[in-house]
Amino acid sequence: MLLKHISNKLNTLSEMKTLPGYWYGKPYYSLDAYCKTTYHEKLYKIALDAGLTCPNRDGRIGSRGCIFCSAGGSGDFAVALSTAAATDISKQLQQGIQLFHEKKTGEHFIAYFQAYTNTYGPVSYLEQIYAQALNTPEVAGISIATRPDCLDAPVLSLLSKLQHQYPDKFIWVELGLQSIHEKTARYIRRGYPLPVFEDALSALHDLSIPVIVHLILGLPNENREMILQSVSYLNSLPVWGVKLQLLHVLKGTDLAVEYSKHTFDVFTIEEYIPLLAECICSLRPDIVIHRLTGDGPRDLLIAPLWSLQKRNVLNQFHKYMKETNSYQGKKIICQNHR
């Protein structure tokens, strides 16, 4: 059934690409394109820190975290409040909204529960923080970053309940998979095997909760083929969105220690752009791309420093896609039409 659905999508892609405004002029299905099509406006993300921790840090699974994870639990862009109310979600949202309004942009927002593992806590507390966001009029919906091994029955039941309570708002879940390769998973200390991800994805799909999967491009000991295998693997699953994250080496991480010993290299921009283009061409065209490179926090980033020039990276990527007549799903479509 799923394969038929995918095949139908692929068959119509060539026609759709010729429609004016499809993907809003970009050669891939961006989150912006999805929001403009669905909500008729751009939605802006406000990154939040709900004061949670992670089982890979508090000792339940591990105490040193994933090898690349910063002290901020991969939530270094969360709104910073310096008061006792630092984890007050409503206050963080109001502060984030205020910042956008000062720039005279943004009417509606995605409340992004980013820092640490955002389903790892008492269900009553989770309900409280999600509801605070969903009750905020400017918030169009919430996106919850978590681990697939932190989605037990009570949490799933809460998400299902909130979906029914807030039918006009969306609830997305983001799963940090990073790679499908078990050797890599052990190296980065991810702390769960691939079947755990598949079970979580399936459970969320059964609840009609859209899932965004995070992959890291450039992990140590992964070559081009391995990266493309991770991308292609997503095509066979009910994945709604993807975040492609260039590997960043951040200060204070164990990855930084490895990097200082020269045990691996990071991508140059000349290596990254063609690889990223190949990933996009290998990805099912209905999967929404939420991220193409990611931002490394300027004060924490050790390498690759070229990634700080985000506009330049995106410009070079778009130029490359144009010059090579590349677009999302191209590789699959070409295979299907052989």
**Residues at the interface with ligand SF4 (CB under 6 A):** 54, 56-57, 65-66, 69, 73-74, 116-117, 147, 176
Structure-block tokens of residue 237 = 């699953």
Q: Which residues contact 194 (CB under 8 A, 6 or more apart)?
A: 180, 182, 185
Q: How many CA atoms lie within 13 A of 88 on its CB side?
A: 10
The secondary structure of 176-232, three-state, reads EEECCCHHHHHHCCCCCCHHHHHHHHHHHHHCCCCEEEEEEECCCCCCHHHHHHHHH
SS3 172: strand
Tell me how far apart the alpha carbons of residues 28 and 179 are, in angstroms, rounded to a whole number: 22
Report whether 253 contacts 67 (CB < 8 A): yes
The DSSP letter of residue 271 is H
Tell me how far apart the alpha carbons of residues 89 and 111 are, in angstroms, rounded to a whole number: 9
Tell me how far apart the alpha carbons of residues 15 and 19 are, in angstroms, rounded to a whole number: 7
Residue linked to tokens 């896609």: 321
Angle value at C-alpha 291, between 251 and 168, nearest 5 degrees:
120
Q: Amino acid identity of 2? A: L
Tell me how far apart the alpha carbons of residues 276 and 136 are, in angstroms, rounded to a whole number: 36
Tell me how far apart the alpha carbons of residues 8 and 336 are, in angstroms, rounded to a whole number: 11
Report whether 147 contacts 56 (CB < 8 A): yes
Which run of H or E residues covers position 303? strand 301-303
Determine if residue 195 is left, alpha or beta; phi over 0 gives left, psi from -120 to 50 gives alpha, anything else beta. Answer: alpha
